[in-house]
Amino acid sequence: MLVQRIFPAATLACIVVLAISSSALMAAPSDAEWLKYPTPGIPRTSNGKPNLSAPAPKTANGKPDLSGIWRAHAGGYSLDVTSDLKRGEIQPWADALYRQRQARFGMDNPALRCFPTIGPGISSWLYKIIQTPTVTAFLPEAYPLPPAFRQVLTDGRGLPKDPNPTWQGYSVGHWDGDTLVVESSGFNDKTWLDIGGHPHTEDLRVTERFNRIDFGHMQLKTTFDDPKAYTRAWTVSIEIELVPDTELLEYVCNENERDFQHVVTTDDDRKGFLRDVKVSPEVLTQYVGTYDSPVPGRTLTYEVSISGNQLMILPPGGGGRIHFPAESDTTFVRVIVGDSVEFVRDASGAVTHFIYRSPEEGERKAVRRGAR
């Protein structure tokens, strides 16, 4: 039996597009990994459910204890960590390489051949934090690409002056009040900053700020600074939520199951992927707004905006905005994950809603707030 968690649809779609075999997850009995074992020390409400709004726990030295299993609401940042940058803020060689990787549907990602991903990356998958006074360990459960453990040394040492470049770099941390500040450098240039394929150089430096707001919620602000690939440093902010009463599942990367050398992309594939029909700013502006899609037990909210001449959508749960290239004046397609949105007007020409189509979730209607 394959034990499977429920992950965000956009991330699952990436797995399909990147041709990651489901057999990479080890089969296990359904009662094996303590998936429903109550986590000790968690405050609970009167009905026994975890009270995630309780005060954040403290360590013996009075600092917030970040230990636990967490999941980030990364949204579009896991696909495009540069979505808040303007295109001119990406060095021409880096933008060209990114577009080349996109045209090949991400098949060149070294992680698909079981190489490690970058340490301070942005993803929506589970990871466990184990905090001690001198080291904080990050243990990912799984990723559409291979995970690797990561350690942040908090014993007062600084970053190495002339490090031997590594896949995940070197990380040291210190406390700024109740915020754990992690500084990382010493990366090689082989990893990607996101699933989409944005590159970096060995000059990359990353600063993360972890702030546990209460028992079940943490804010992470990550600053990327690589002057050889980007014209300025930028910061992405995501929310992280505690996942109680569960445990990590085992994950194994088997390189032999990921044979991409015989996968071919044609010129038509690449042209289709890179197409971006030019839609006037006047038309794009008409789509800007907040759209709600009721689903059982909750409402999914999408924020539509424009950046330059590009349509951007902030998915439910926050995280980074996602660029949807235009297929026509009304339809916008994110080819690498297979998602699309089609805007619909009423008889008077006003935009009332859009239809969201996903390979994983099918079709969903999202109504514009204020629409008649």
Percent of the chain with pLDDT over 70: 83
DSSP 266-325: -HHHHHHHH------HHHHHTT-EEEEEEETTEEEEEEEEEETTEEEEE-TT-SB-EE--
**pLDDT given at position 196:** 86
Q: Inform me whether the pLDDT recorded for 372 exceeds 90.
A: no
pTM of the model: 0.77
Cα(260)–Cα(262) distance, rounded to whole angstroms?
Answer: 5
Confidence of residue 64 (pLDDT cuts 50, 70, 90): very high
- Secondary structure percentages of the chain, helix, strand, coil, to 5: 15, 35, 55
pLDDT tens-digit series, residues 162-202: 999 999 999 999 999 999 999 999 999 999 999 889 999 99
pLDDT tens-digit series, residues 283-313: 999 999 999 999 888 999 999 999 878 899 9
Place of tokens 């969201």: 356
pLDDT tens-digit series, residues 81-104: 998 898 799 999 999 999 898 878
**pLDDT given at position 75:** 75
Domain covering 275-368: architecture: Beta Barrel (2.40)
Average pLDDT estimate for 148-165: 93
* Residue 92 parent element (H or E): helix 92-103
3-class DSSP state for residue 16?
A: helix
**pLDDT given at position 336:** 62
Residues 6+ apart with CB under 8 A from 30: 1, 3
Cα(299)–Cα(296) distance, rounded to whole angstroms?
Answer: 8
Residues 6+ apart with CB under 8 A from 61: 133
Which of the pair, 265 or 348, is modelled with greater confidence?
Answer: 348
CB 303 within 8 A of CB 314: yes
Count of CB atoms situated within 10 Å of the CB of 92: 9
The residues spanned by each domain of the chain are 9-256, 275-368
Which amino acid is present at 36? K
